[in-house]
Structure 1
Amino acid sequence: MSVSFLLRLALLVLLLTFLANPQAFEPVFAPFAANGAPAIYTQSSLVALTLSHLAMVAAATLAATIVSVGFAILVTRPSGREFLPLSRSIANIGQTFPPVAVLALAVPVFGFGPIPTLIALFLYGLLPVFENALTGLTSIPASVQEAARGVGMTGGQRLVGVELPLALPIILAGIRLTAVISLGTATIGSTVAARTLGEVIIAGLTSNNTAFVLQGGLIVAMLALFIHEGFALLETALSRRTGGAQPA
């Protein structure tokens, strides 16, 4: 086993241990607590907040992936190429409006809770997946396309059996970027009553308790690391299997 693998495993065990029994880490965070304030956040279960946070990110990322890949497939077909500028404009919406602005616009319509956060994460996650899917589907060698046509495959069969499998590593790189960005961005959802790890960070900021801020920030950072590494390993494995270039 490599040193890096052992280090990641140790970090994972440390994170799971902290989530399961945060009180055991009180001596570690006590120096960062405000005068007389508790060192460990106990107003809500850290496990429940983490699962809620991950579920929100997963739902938004899945929705963004379905829409973005759908747009990419549409604009790479002969009948849909004229829609490329429109699709790119839609994918850019999330980058044009910051998540905080989306929350401010969504709350009056949908009220407080998870829905405004999901909308913000969905819009913010469209562009990375769309651009990567577009790159993956347009970078397939012409010789491969011709070979697929030569064996009598229809357009749909080429898409499902050739194009998407070859483009998948690059598409996954976009999904990885979206998931990691969404993981950090989701923390602001607690400002509109969504149950995320931002609750811990905000509690620390409002009470001037650095211990809480560190706990929320470290959990989010470690989750982002594990999600990034997991997707990277999957991309590498798929690239080797398909013989394609490995995404950065």
Structure 2
Amino acid sequence: MSRAWPLLARGTLLALLVALVLEPAWFEPLFRPLTRNGAPAIYDQGSLLALTLHHVQIVALACLAASAVAIVLAILVTRPIGAEFLPLSRAVVNIGQTFPPVAVLALAVPALGFGDRPTLVALFLYGLLPIFENTLAGLTTLPPAVVDAARGVGMTPVQRLLRVELPLAAPVILAGIRLSVVISLGTATIGSTVAAATLGEVIIAGLTSSNLAFVVQGGVIVGLLAVLLHDGLAAAERALARRAGIRPA
């Protein structure tokens, strides 16, 4: 019974998200009290499905790029040949946290123009830090006995990395990716200020027209996406931990 409730909750949230995106008119009675002066209760300036899919696509591309760069950097600085680059690497991945995403967008637009590219750059920079730090933590807190055993059986450094270190560190690395994804889902909404097709369009349309119904629609869809992706990635972390023989937290 205890396992059935989480599954039921996940299914309910997923069904709600699908219904909000595919059949938003079903929810008009709920949103109508949030409107004034006969304003539409359901966002009618574009397709919620198209905006949602594009929003997720932008976040996925940015997080994949951030994961590749952050993980490679963390691997490099945990090897003897790259240990001296740790301070520089930390300075690089902290850039996204030093500058707010809005500032990054403002700086990127003159060079990249309006659209998706400035948003991708902002999300990429913003997502580096949690992935890098978690990968670093995962690779530097491995059980010494396991690493020594791998070295003792004659594994090369590359074999130890691919067969021992990364599999054991995978749950911690995925936790950093999960954090990056959740942050990026919310942050991506500001991409609509530079003409990126994200769910921020719904929220901005509501703010500019004083239509609270639009703001709530956009916010609820982003929130449901964040909860479902967070839950899915957390489940993947637990599966990786069990596979590596680690007791899930």
The normalised TM-score by structure 2 is 0.97
Q: Summarize deviations over 1:167-207 as a string: whole Å, max 9, x none.
A: 00000000000000000000000000000000000000000
Runs of 4+ in 1 over 4 A off after TM superposition: none
2:82 partner SS = helix
Partner of 1:142: 144
1:61 is aligned with what amino acid? C
In the TM superposition, 1:145-160 aligns within 5 A as: 145-160=147-162
1:10 is matched with which residue? 12
Output the amino acid matched with 2:124: F
1:246 and 1:117 mapped to 2: Cα distance?
35
Task: Supply the distance in 2 between the matched residues of 1:237 and 1:209 (Cα, whole angstroms).
Answer: 43
The answer to whether the Cα contact below 8 Å between 2:20 and 2:221 also exists between their aligned partners in 1 is: no
Q: 1:120 corresponds to which residue? A: 122
Per-residue deviation, 1:2: 2.2
**What CA RMSD, in Å, does the superposition of the two structures yield over aligned residues?**
0.9
Residue type of the alignment partner of 2:227: L
* Consecutive unaligned residues in structure 2, runs of 5 or more: none
Cα deviation digits, residues 32-77 of structure 1 (max 9, x gap): 1121110000211000000000000000000000000000000000
Q: Secondary structure at the residue paired with 2:154?
A: coil
2: CA distance between counterparts of 1:149 and 1:159? Answer: 11
Match of 1:56, SS state, is: helix
Is 1:224 equivalent to 2:226 in the alignment? yes
**Superposition deviation, residue 244 in structure 1:** 2.4
Aligned residue pairs, count = 247
Q: Could you tell me which amino acid in structure 2 is paired with residue 212 of structure 1?
A: F
The amino acid of 1:236's aligned partner reads R
| 2:87 counterpart of 1:85 | yes
Partner Cα distance (1:69, 1:7) in 2: 33
In the superposition, the TM-score normalised over structure 1's length comes to 0.98
Using the alignment, how far apart are the partners of 2:159 and 2:9 within structure 1? 43
Cα distance, 1:245 vs structure 2: 5.0
**Consecutive unaligned residues in structure 1, runs of 5 or more:** none
Question: More displaced, 167-176 or 5-14?
Answer: 5-14
Deviation at 1:7, TM superposition (A): 1.7
Identity over aligned residues, as a percent? 66
